[in-house]
Amino acid sequence: MAYFEEPEKLIGSRIPPKFPSANQEIIEAGRCYALGRNTACVFHLMCALEVGLHATAKVFGVPTDYANWQRLLDGIEKEIAKIGEAKDKPPTWKDDREFYS
């Protein structure tokens, strides 16, 4: 019952400052998990993941309006590949590529 009574513990300390709009979805996912509502739990987790996916797409200038996940992921991968092929890559490129990949 801890997931229901204290679902905020599922968020941890790293997510709130980075993706505050995902907090409520994570809390609801914990509550659904505690109640055995697995399909609803997955729905809320996907909504939370979408927050991060849209943020990553924004970093790379990939339009998010009316785009499905596959289109967003393909667009992000395409932009990552472009940076990898560029002659003037940023000095942090290897770490950045690993992070975004």
Could you tell me which residue, 16 or 24, shows the higher pLDDT? 24
> What would the mean pLDDT of 17-21 be, rounded to a whole number?
78
The conformation of residue 65, written as its DSSP 8-state character, comes to: T
pLDDT at 40: 97
**3-class state of residue 12 by DSSP:** coil
Give the C-alpha separation, 73 to 84, whole Å.
Answer: 16
**3-class state of residue 11 by DSSP:** coil
Among candidate residues 43, 1, 5, the one with its CA nearest the CA of residue 26:
43
Q: Using the structure block, give the residue that is written with the tokens 């996940």.
A: 69
Q: Are the beta carbons of 54 and 72 closer than 8 angstroms?
A: yes
Is it the case that residue 3 has pLDDT exceeding 90? Answer: no
Is it the case that residue 16 has pLDDT exceeding 90? Answer: no
